[in-house]
Amino acid sequence: MSSGRDSPLARRPDRRKIADSQFWSPAGWRGLFVSASKSSLAALTLGAIGVVYGDIGTSVLYSVKEVFGSGHVPFTNDNVYGILSIFFWTLTVIVSLKYVTLVLRADNHGEGGLVAMLALASQSVKDKPELRRWLLAVGVFGTCLFYGDGVITPAISVLSAVEGLEVVSPNFKRAVIPLTLVILFGLFAVQKHGTAGIGKFFGPITLVWFAVIAVLGLSHIASHPEILWAISPHYALGFMFHHPGITFIILGAVVLCVTGGEALYADMGHFGKKPIRLAWFTIVMPSLTLNYFGQGALLLANPEAVKNPFFMMAPDWALIPLVVLATAATVIASQALITGAFSVTKQVIQLGYLPRLQVLHTSVKDTGQIYMPFVNWGLFVLIVLAVVMFRSSSNLAAAYGIAVTLDMLITTVLTFYVIRYGWKYPLALCIAATGFFFVVDLAFFSSNLLKLLDGGWFPLLIGGAIFLLMMTWKQGRGLLNDSLRQDALDLPSFLEAVFVSPPARVDGTAVFLTAEPGTVPNALLHNLKHNKVLHENNLFVTVRNHELPWIGMDKRTEIESLGHDCWQVIVNYGFKNDPDLPKALQQIKARGCNLDAMTTSYFLSRDIVIPTIGGGMSQWREKLFAQMHHNASGAAAFLNLPNNAVVELGSKIEI
């Protein structure tokens, strides 16, 4: 990995091109949303409501219930005011101030998300190799925690929506888990077909959801308007002062109100800062506040409603329609997370932390729409396991929080290094800007550690297992490249020796993939040994992935002539680019290389890794890496090479 903000490869994408090419279908990091004839601020804002805020919008289903249902908070009017004030100021501090005001400024050439932040932070400290190594490890671990969160969030969201049927009638209780599993299966089963057909409804349905929860809240606030006084921070401070122990314990439940808050940053490159901020301050934040305060007003009037305050806000005639709407909203929130999992996995693969996986494009128009079967069904199996193990949204709430609060803490730490070493701000200002949020995040994380034995271990176990796989792959690839480098021959010297008595030349072009430029690929040695010929044109191609989200076509290829119609070519990709090697190589026609797609063959070396005792990694990790390497999808599919033009030659390599 190489390059940074000052690199000649760096190129900020044109926001208008992003809007035009990605706006009209549910592609990209979280999936897209609405169909229209041209992009606009209003349409982008509507899309942000459907994609960015679906998760945090459904947190009203369970947040208040879990705080008061925990049994730690004595039910008094003063405590209702205190808890609502804590909710309001948690949303204000973590979402409005931290993410919307500070973190959204840390864009990586227009892109956001933990992977983009990790790349930005690592480039900011590239002159400090030891610190950079630790930051990469911390950032990768945070990315792994995303998958743990990605298992809990759809499970708790859909389950809490379906649990609304229990309010309609206790007889529905037995149907909650089976119905939840059916809905989740249907959601994951349709992923292979893409979401272009339903994506246009994401924004409008979620907008209706926010309107409904706002109206529900207003209807109860009208009966107890005094509840609005809870906006004052003195109620939150008073509760924390009088109940410090209880406050620390319930922070693990309060954090549920900011589930999905990190999506503001993750989807920045998709929608832009202005639509995300506009959607938050005009629609999302007011709707959430009204609903939470409406639930508080309901609890003042009817303390028995604590068992499910959200659904008990609705009149009887509206219960079933509300359950249906809530289920639709949670499915949309889950869809956004699934699409995000595909995108994040693809980016992590291109950064070199996971083996190649099968990537299928679900749209002929938009390359951002992808489907990864292994990720899709792996997530589904883990989500089913979570639903079956925990069996209720309350139990899942006990498992939720550790992963997301640790991710928030990691984001704050990475932000410090970006603004200190990347933006060169004074140390005192950097500490002031991130120190407060660090303390808040640390308090939430510490509180959630109390859930460790009650289920918090589950997302941590998932994140830890994926982290082990990622680090094993990264280190194994390093060992493999070291082994190849030790045995490699110098390419210019080798060609000079070959052409002293050249073999027969055949028509066409041979493209040899090599990990290191300037070295002789094994595929070339095998071709000369067995076929005893060279093609008319020979390209020695190295694909490089950089810590940049996008690298434009004008910076895609670098070419150097080696003489005798042989060329060394380097092809550059950012971690959000879609690799397409034949398309990239078409650019070198103008640089003296006569390349005809119909007569081009691609020679790849399919290495078989042999673990050895001593050196490198422990024996079991070397065996794990060898298995991962064996199961990785072929480079041909990953680089979009034509099937009928690929020749794979095997070799064994010891690590």
Cβ burial, residue 364 (10 Å; 0-12/13-18/19+): exposed
Q: Which of 219-223, 230-234, 441-445, 623-627 has the lowest mean pLDDT?
A: 623-627
pLDDT at residue 197, as a whole number: 62
DSSP per residue, 319-355: HHHHHHHHHHHHHHHHHHHHHHHHHHHHHHHHTTSS-
Residue 266 · residue 113 · CB < 8 Å: yes
DSSP per residue, 421-435: IIS---HHHHHHHHH
Task: List CB contacts of 450: < 8 A, sequence separation 6 or more.
Answer: 249, 252
Task: List CB contacts of 194: < 8 A, sequence separation 6 or more.
Answer: 26, 362, 363, 369, 371
Across residues 279-290, what is the average pLDDT? 96
pLDDT at residue 587 above 70? Answer: yes
**pLDDT band (50, 70, 90) for residue 29:** very low
Identify the CA nearest to 327 among candidates 393, 255, 381. Answer: 393
| Secondary structure element (H or E) that encloses residue 99, with its range | none
Q: According to DSSP H, which parts of 449-510 are helical?
A: 457-487, 491-498
pLDDT at residue 98 above 90? Answer: yes
**pLDDT band (50, 70, 90) for residue 329:** very high
Task: List CB contacts of 182: < 8 A, sequence separation 6 or more.
Answer: none
pLDDT at residue 399, as a whole number: 87
Task: List CB contacts of 382: < 8 A, sequence separation 6 or more.
Answer: 151, 462
Q: Give percent above pLDDT 70 in the chain.
A: 92
Written as six digits, the tokens of 102 are 């500070």
557 φ/ψ angles, rounded to the nearest 5 degrees:
-120, 145
Predicted confidence (pLDDT) per residue in 208-253, tens digit: 999 999 999 999 999 999 999 999 999 999 999 999 999 999 999 9
Predicted confidence (pLDDT) per residue in 528-542, tens digit: 888 888 999 999 999
Pairing of strands 504-513, 600-610: parallel
DSSP per residue, 358-413: --EES-SS-TT-EE-HHHHHHHHHHHHHHHHHH-SHHHHHHHSSHHHHHHHHHHHH
**CA–CA separation, 103 and 412 (whole Å):** 8
pLDDT at residue 113, as a whole number: 84
pLDDT at residue 648 above 70? Answer: yes
Written as six digits, the tokens of 115 are 């992977």
pLDDT at residue 38 above 60? Answer: no
Residue 127 · residue 28 · CB < 8 Å: no
**pLDDT band (50, 70, 90) for residue 198:** low
Across residues 83-91, what is the average pLDDT? 97
* pTM > 0.75: yes
**pLDDT band (50, 70, 90) for residue 131:** very high
Q: Which of 149-158, 442-451, 595-604, 645-654 has the lowest mean pLDDT?
A: 645-654
Instruction: Work out whether the CA dihedral 210, 399, 170, 292 comes out positive or negative.
Output: negative
pLDDT at residue 598, as a whole number: 87
**pLDDT band (50, 70, 90) for residue 3:** very low
Query: Which own/partner contact pairs does 378-385 have at CB distance under 8 Å and 24+ positions apart?
Result: 379/147, 379/150, 379/151, 379/188, 379/338, 379/341, 380/184, 380/185, 380/188, 382/151, 382/462, 383/151, 383/154, 383/155, 383/184, 384/181, 384/184
Query: Which own/partner contact pairs does 298-305 have at CB distance under 8 Å and 24+ positions apart?
Result: 298/220, 299/64, 299/68, 299/75, 299/80, 300/77, 300/80, 300/224, 300/227, 301/220, 301/223, 301/224, 303/75
Instruction: Work out whether the CA dihedral 545, 547, 550, 556 comes out positive or negative.
Output: negative
| Angle CA 452–455–460, to nearest 5 | 65
**pLDDT band (50, 70, 90) for residue 71:** confident
pLDDT at residue 13, as a whole number: 40
**pLDDT band (50, 70, 90) for residue 108:** confident
**CA–CA separation, 545 and 548 (whole Å):** 8
pLDDT at residue 116, as a whole number: 85
Written as six digits, the tokens of 505 are 């030349």
